[in-house]
Amino acid sequence: MGRRKKNKFLEDVKIVGLADKGRCVGKTESGEIVFLEGVAPGDVVDALVLRKRKGVQEGIVKEIKSYSEDRVEPICHHFGICGGCKWQHIKYEAQLQHKSNIVENAMRRIGKVEIGEFLPIVGADETSYYRNKLEFSFSNKRWLEAEELNDETISNEADVLGFHKPKTFDKIIDIDHCHLQGGMSNDLRDFVRDKGKGMGLKFMDIRKVEGYLRNMIIRTTTLGETMVILSLFEDDKKTREPLLDAIIEKFPSITSLNYAINPKRNDTLYDIDVVLYKGKPYIEEQLKETRYRISPKSFFQTNSLQAIKLFDTVVEFADLQGEENVYDLYTGTGSIACYLAKYCKQVVGIEEVEPAIVDAKINAEINDLENTIFYVGDVKDILTDDFAQKHGKPDVLITDPPRAGMHKKVVEMLLKLESPKIVYVSCNPGTQARDLNLLAGKYDVLKMQPVDMFPHTHHIENIALLQLRK
Ligand SMILES: C[S@@+](CC[C@H](N)C(=O)[O-])C[C@H]1O[C@@H](n2cnc3c(N)ncnc32)[C@H](O)[C@@H]1O
């Protein structure tokens, strides 16, 4: 039998930066690079290299030799186990600086474009309780922490309600307080878990795909409205109704109480009916003067307060004078389109999710907007020469694609359309930089504005203003 190779030991690794997925980059004196978790830029550690993938070393920390000045005490006792707020141990000002660096690095390494003005990142006023949507999962197995594994008095056979352990599909961390969502969120989650146990209901066995209580989505708005969607694995009115009645009795301020019967192997609800049990079939949110109706399956920016700053930057960059023809690609529920429609002649939105477009049309209606048009379909198929002829070429084009960025065909079409101005909103600086590079033949990047929508995470939103070169 061959002898197991010993893991490489790296001494005095200086943590020099933050990488993707909440990891940090460490560098030894001889220049060796290793990716580590649970550290902060400025720490000095000893580490063990566990694996090397595509030339990148990944390891674990053996000892922290000295702590960074940017460290703070994490506010959440689930920190380090739960994957939700991986940067909670880093000062917020330092988090912002790192996010700004992530954007600048992506633009330099991938985009290779000149940026006229790189504006200081816009931070969040609220770094806790900033999310308006959370999803909790039920499980009949509790995730055991390292120190609990050898304790025979502690069992993992327990009914829990919380978040998935990162990188696992079947391990749920029992959450007793989450600092991400305010309102009734924490009390409601604890109540539903206790009530489910008290009624003897089966919590999901995720591995075996059996059980009854599956997951629960809580959505809140700054107007004080709350939506709850309880997902159940089986259709059983006898247990469902007493549970839902108990929830509404305890939390009468829930404005939309819904359930879904989901017998599938996965938790997604897009192809499952969401049934209204009590209240309205939607909740409402307001960003400045614009009102939005959010139905159970529709997307809405998850940080409402920061969404105002994001949309205000889009309005500022678009600099509308009242007569412009605006395209809003990847419009979702028409959030940006409705926010700026009053400043221009017309907005044409495109989105591939049909229910989102239903909401976009309702959003236009409740805001008394008569100058919006919405289309359902893939942007790469809808945005054609005929489309541009029908609606007129855009004076300003706003694009807010998913993490993957824009399809190459869409970028080619943008080059053909020659909109004088493009405002590019992105949640992934890497793909945004790639697309800016492709647009660089005809466009200059005048300004760039990162906005932090997700404190304590590595996620960053970035807005670029592009001008057609004369
Ligand atoms: C980042 S969200 C932006 C939503 C919207 N701008 C907002 O602020 O609420 C991206 C949107 O693009 C949609 N989408 C993704 N791929 C698409 C495609 N190929 N064609 C059209 N829409 C797409 C998604 O459904 C989602 O609504």
CATH of the domain at 347: 3.40.50.150
Asked whether residue 266 carries a pLDDT value surpassing 80, the answer given is: yes
Whether residues 267 and 402 fall in one domain = no
Whether residues 107 and 58 fall in one domain = no
pLDDT for res 165: 86
Residues recognised as catalytic = 427
Q: Please indicate, yes or no, if residue 216 is contained in any of the structural domains.
A: yes
Q: Please indicate, yes or no, if residue 402 is contained in any of the structural domains.
A: yes
- As a whole number, mean pLDDT of residues 47-60 equals 90
| Residue bearing the CA closest to ligand 1, atom 6 | 331
Whether residues 160 and 235 fall in one domain = yes
* Ligand 1 centre distance from Cα of residue 332 (Å): 5
pTM of the model: 0.92
Alpha helices by DSSP H, listed for 207-268, are 237-250
- Residue 386 tokens, joined: 């005929």
pLDDT for res 154: 73
170 confidence band (pLDDT: 50, 70, 90): confident
Q: Which residue has the tokens 């959505």?
A: 219
- As a whole number, mean pLDDT of residues 13-30 equals 88
* Residue 264's CATH number: 2.40.50.1070
Whether residues 187 and 160 fall in one domain = yes
pLDDT for res 2: 56
Q: Please indicate, yes or no, if residue 172 is contained in any of the structural domains.
A: yes
Domain span at residue 226 reads 133-287
| Residue bearing the CA closest to ligand 1, atom 2 | 402
By the 8 A CB rule, do 262 and 272 touch? Answer: yes
By the 8 A CB rule, do 260 and 273 touch? Answer: yes
What rounded mean pLDDT belongs to the chain?
A: 94
Q: Please indicate, yes or no, if residue 82 is contained in any of the structural domains.
A: no
155 confidence band (pLDDT: 50, 70, 90): confident
451 confidence band (pLDDT: 50, 70, 90): very high
Task: Give the whole-angstrom CA distance, residue 59 versus residue 49.
Answer: 4
* Ligand 1 centre distance from Cα of residue 349 (Å): 10
pLDDT for res 452: 98
pLDDT for res 393: 96
| Residue bearing the CA closest to ligand 1, atom 27 | 332
pLDDT for res 364: 98
Mutate to test the pocket of ligand 1, among 299, 358, 423, 460 (most ligand atoms within 8 A of CB): 299
Q: Which of 452, 446, 116, 137 is nearest to 303 (CA)?
A: 452
Of 29, 51, 66, which one is at a domain's C-terminal end? 66
pLDDT for res 115: 96
Of 237, 258, 287, which one is at a domain's C-terminal end? 287
Q: What is the pLDDT of residues 350-392, one digit of tens each?
A: 999 898 999 999 999 999 999 999 999 999 999 999 999 999 9
Cα-Cα-Cα-Cα dihedral of 57, 63, 69, 73, to 10°? 110
Whether residues 447 and 390 fall in one domain = yes
By the 8 A CB rule, do 305 and 124 touch? Answer: yes
pLDDT for res 111: 96
- Residue 407 CA: which ligand 1 atom is closest? 19
Whether residues 316 and 441 fall in one domain = yes
Say if residue 198 is exposed, middle or buried (CB neighbours under 10 Å; 0-12, 13-18, 19+): exposed
Residues present in the chain in total: 470
Q: Please indicate, yes or no, if residue 98 is contained in any of the structural domains.
A: yes
Whether residues 111 and 153 fall in one domain = no
* Ligand 1 centre distance from Cα of residue 205 (Å): 33
Asked whether residue 299 carries a pLDDT value surpassing 60, the answer given is: yes
- Residue 407 tokens, joined: 């399809």
* Ligand 1 centre distance from Cα of residue 182 (Å): 27
pLDDT for res 3: 63
Whether residues 281 and 361 fall in one domain = no
pLDDT for res 4: 65
Whether residues 198 and 226 fall in one domain = yes
What secondary structure letter does DSSP report for 341? G
pLDDT for res 150: 74
Asked whether residue 20 carries a pLDDT value surpassing 80, the answer given is: no
Mutate to test the pocket of ligand 1, among 292, 312, 352 (most ligand atoms within 8 A of CB): 352
Which residues face 60 on adjacent strands?
A: 48
308 confidence band (pLDDT: 50, 70, 90): very high
Task: Give the whole-angstrom CA distance, residue 324 versus residue 251.
Answer: 47
- Residue 468 tokens, joined: 């057609």
Whether residues 235 and 327 fall in one domain = no
Asked whether residue 459 carries a pLDDT value surpassing 80, the answer given is: yes
pLDDT for res 231: 98
Which residues face 25 on adjacent strands?
A: 17, 35
Task: Give the whole-angstrom CA distance, residue 138 versus residue 127.
Answer: 27
| Residue bearing the CA closest to ligand 1, atom 18 | 378
* Residue 18's CATH number: 2.40.50.140
Q: Please indicate, yes or no, if residue 118 is contained in any of the structural domains.
A: yes
Say if residue 151 is exposed, middle or buried (CB neighbours under 10 Å; 0-12, 13-18, 19+): exposed
- As a whole number, mean pLDDT of residues 43-63 equals 92
> Which residues line ligand 1 at a C-beta cut-off of 6 Å?
299, 301, 330-333, 335-336, 350-353, 356, 378-379, 400, 402, 427
As for how many domains the chain has, the answer is 3
Share of the chain above pLDDT 90, in %: 86
Asked whether residue 26 carries a pLDDT value surpassing 80, the answer given is: yes
Q: What is the pLDDT of residues 75-131, one digit of tens each?
A: 999 998 888 898 999 999 999 999 999 999 999 999 999 999 999 999 999 999 999
Neighbours of 210 (CB within 10 A): 12
Mutate to test the pocket of ligand 1, among 348, 351, 382, 454 (most ligand atoms within 8 A of CB): 351
- As a whole number, mean pLDDT of residues 390-406 equals 97
pLDDT for res 399: 98
Q: Please indicate, yes or no, if residue 295 is contained in any of the structural domains.
A: no
List the beta strands (DSSP E) in 237-369: 256-261, 274-279, 283-287, 290-294, 325-329, 346-351
pLDDT for res 156: 76
Whether residues 110 and 171 fall in one domain = no
| Residue bearing the CA closest to ligand 1, atom 19 | 378
Asked whether residue 1 carries a pLDDT value surpassing 80, the answer given is: no
Asked whether residue 255 carries a pLDDT value surpassing 90, the answer given is: yes
Can you spell out the DSSP letters for 16-75?
Answer: EEE-GGG-EEEE-TT--EEEESS--TT-EEEEEEEEEETTEEEEEEEEEEE--TTB---S
Q: Please indicate, yes or no, if residue 139 is contained in any of the structural domains.
A: yes
Whether residues 318 and 233 fall in one domain = no
* Ligand 1 centre distance from Cα of residue 358 (Å): 14
* Ligand 1 centre distance from Cα of residue 330 (Å): 4
Of 255, 287, 319, which one is at a domain's C-terminal end? 287
